[in-house]
Structure 1
Amino acid sequence: MPPRLSDRCTLRRSITKRRHLRPFLYLSFSFLLSLLFLHLTSLLLRRANSLGRRCYPPSPPISFPQLKIAIVTISDESKQSEIYYPGGWKRRSFVGMREAVWGNKRRYAERMGYDFVDATELVDPSRPPNWSKILAVRSCLRVYDWVFWNDADTVITNLDVALETILFGLIGYGDVKLTPDLVVTEDLNGVNSGVFFMRKSDWSERFLQKWWDQTSFIQFGSTKSGDNAALRHLIDSLPDEESQLHILISPMQCLCNSYPWFPSLKSLYRLLISPQKTWQGVYSDGDFIVHLAGLDDKRGWALKLLQEV
């Protein structure tokens, strides 16, 4: 006996409903799978060092040269340092970072015998605050053999790593006067000015002045103040011989400028287009310092990291 008309209609509606649900189920499954992948990737990258990554060059068992080193930073928590989305929603701010991380950096400096220099008074209000790192470093080069610059949104996460271990592991143990003058790291976008070493020398003084003079790169009201772009331009413009003599780019970003990795589409995109760069720069347990570059809730991130130290 053939099915009744009402039964056939009910069957068609059921089939149609299942067909409509199928794309939704596929999307839901894909979304959950993506979340799981991002979470597992985050856990894997956080264990990069225990999985065999080596951030520090091997250091021979000899004593370090006696050098006078300063850890220099600034913190501008004025309205000028805040970045807003269109519509007035605050995106990025350094407010609270001074209170959050200054104690961390002072403790490290005291432990290792370095001077901690808060050069906030040198901030030039005519430019975005990041540009004043040039003034801060220049003021200390007249007094110290090496200056270790670190942006306000950095946290020292391994208090047992000496700056000399980083420096001499890279530049060697020869004549200090013949070593490079600028030691930097690079990320996916190139050289990063958030953390670097600079040696006391005439070349360093001239280079800092040229960097300061790159006024065409100054940007207001943007997440990029222009100082980083200016530094990249200067380095790219140097003759090869001068660049090789005075500038050293660490082969491993995690040496002294690690970035935290967290699940997001932006993080996933960067991982997919450059897995090697991500691996070389991602923050892992045991790294010396974390740079909260590009993150909005800087104070929240800093407090979370400090709880783990």
Structure 2
Amino acid sequence: MRTLKLPPSLLLFLVVCVFLLIHFSQLSRPTQHGHLEKKTPRIALVTFVTEERSYLHLALKSKNHYCRRHGYDFIVDYEAHAERGTPWWKHAMLERLIKKGTYDWVWWLDVDTLITNTEIKVADIIEETLKNVTTPEEIDWLITHDCNGLNTGSYIVRAHERSVKLFDNSGAIRDEEVKKNDKHLSDQDALGKLFKEDAASARRTVQVPQWKLNAFPQEIACFDESKKVWEHGMFVLHFAGAWAHVKGEDPTGQLMRKYQHEIIWGDYSLFD
């Protein structure tokens, strides 16, 4: 019986074909319901805290629990070394993570927030938002507004070099204001000014309804155009500027403790 001998080049070609077939079948593997599995974006939730506060355990617990539930990374800095002032450290953190190339998106969330519904996936908010724009691949920033305009307590940034450039541009705006008027803009004010004055930067942003990503409680009535106050089942609760709205020695802590019983937790025993 004659043995069929394949040319080495043909054998190599067949091996490569088999490898590629296995590789791509794993990327788009059908689920038990017959649908194709979507590739899960790599997401990091980012915040910092630089001093003792009464509500830190609860604030950090809700974020850590959420990230454990959905497989996101939770990154916290406990020191800030920003030359422009502490609030600008968030830019340094996000730039550092973007340049690492580990993530697809980074989500900045101020520490004075609670994730009040841990069932909601921020990846789904990103996907739903980008479905409603004509050029989703060009959108790098998902932002929210309150009654005063841009609010950077909760925003999502695509981990792309374009985002780093935008951070640099907002810093340049702040430095120019200092040089001209001795005016020390916050990171939020500088970004807001950039989005208003630079059309190219504005085109890379999309505004998400405040209640979906950065809801305020009834005690802090500073809402965007939707005028929607936080209610049970919403995703994030932000106690921005609580000191200006609530009397007491610890306004943010008081509100945190009031709303902690509204949090929808997951089953921790099922987390990886």
Normalising by the residue count of structure 2, what TM-score does the alignment of the two structures yield?
A: 0.70
Aligned twin of 1:141? 98
* 2:239 aligned with 1:285: no
Runs (4 or more) in structure 1 with deviation over 3 Å come to 61-65, 125-128, 173-177, 215-218
Q: Cα distance, 1:215 vs. partner?
A: 3.4
Choose from 232, 235, 238 the match for 2:198. Answer: 238
The alignment partner of 1:195 has SS state of: strand
Aligned twin of 1:299? 253
Does the CA-based 8 Å contact 1:150-1:196 persist in structure 2? yes
Aligned twin of 1:114? 72
Q: Cα distance, 1:260 vs. partner?
A: 0.7
Alpha-carbon distance in 2 for matches of 1:180, 1:62: 25
Does the CA-based 8 Å contact 1:134-1:211 persist in structure 2? no
Q: Cα distance, 1:177 vs. partner?
A: 7.7
The alignment partner of 1:293 has SS state of: coil
The alignment partner of 1:192 has SS state of: strand
Aligned twin of 2:54? 96
Alpha-carbon distance in 2 for matches of 1:284, 1:216: 41
Alpha-carbon distance in 1 for matches of 2:212, 2:38: 18
Aligned twin of 2:115? 156
Which consecutive residues of structure 1, in runs of 5 or more, have no partner in the other structure?
A: 1-60, 79-94, 219-223
Alpha-carbon distance in 2 for matches of 1:63, 1:76: 40
Does the CA-based 8 Å contact 1:67-1:146 persist in structure 2? yes
Does the CA-based 8 Å contact 2:144-2:207 persist in structure 1? yes
- Larger relative contact order, structure 1 or 2 (CA cutoff 8 Å, min sep 6): 1
Q: Cα distance, 1:173 vs. partner?
A: 9.1
Cα gap change, 1:160/1:147 in structure 2, threshold over 3 Å: closer, same or farther?
Answer: same
Alpha-carbon distance in 1 for matches of 2:124, 2:65: 18
Q: Cα distance, 1:175 vs. partner?
A: 11
Q: CA RMSD in A?
A: 2.8
Q: Cα distance, 1:306 vs. partner?
A: 1.6
Cα gap change, 1:173/1:190 in structure 2, threshold over 3 Å: closer, same or farther?
Answer: closer
Amino acid at match of 2:75: V
Does the CA-based 8 Å contact 2:166-2:201 persist in structure 1? no
- Alignment of structure 1 residues 244-283 onto 2, 5 Å: 244=203, 246-250=204-208, 252-262=209-219, 267=221, 277=225, 279-280=227-228, 282-283=229-230
Does the CA-based 8 Å contact 1:131-1:225 persist in structure 2? no
Choose from 150, 166, 186 the match for 2:145. Answer: 186
Cα gap change, 1:288/1:63 in structure 2, threshold over 3 Å: closer, same or farther?
Answer: farther
Choose from 44, 58, 63 the match for 1:105. Answer: 63
Amino acid at match of 1:259: F
Which consecutive residues of structure 2, in runs of 5 or more, have no partner in the other structure?
A: 1-34, 179-183, 244-250, 264-272
Rg comparison, structure with higher value? 1
* 2:130 aligned with 1:130: no
Q: Cα distance, 1:127 vs. partner?
A: 4.3
Alpha-carbon distance in 2 for matches of 1:197, 1:242: 15
Alpha-carbon distance in 1 for matches of 2:39, 2:136: 12
Aligned twin of 2:24? none
Normalising by the residue count of structure 1, what TM-score does the alignment of the two structures yield?
A: 0.62
Higher helix share: 1
* 2:44 aligned with 1:70: yes
Amino acid at match of 2:77: A
The alignment partner of 2:169 has SS state of: helix
Alpha-carbon distance in 2 for matches of 1:62, 1:191: 37
* 2:143 aligned with 1:197: no
Alpha-carbon distance in 1 for matches of 2:113, 2:51: 15
Does the CA-based 8 Å contact 1:153-1:292 persist in structure 2? yes
Does the CA-based 8 Å contact 1:72-1:116 persist in structure 2? yes
* 2:168 aligned with 1:209: yes
Q: Cα distance, 1:108 vs. partner?
A: 0.4
Q: Cα distance, 1:188 vs. partner?
A: 1.3
Choose from 219, 223, 228 the match for 2:188. Answer: 228
Cα gap change, 1:193/1:242 in structure 2, threshold over 3 Å: closer, same or farther?
Answer: closer
The alignment partner of 1:135 has SS state of: helix
CA offsets, 1:191-213, max 9 Å, x none? 11110000011210101122233
Cα gap change, 1:242/1:295 in structure 2, threshold over 3 Å: closer, same or farther?
Answer: closer
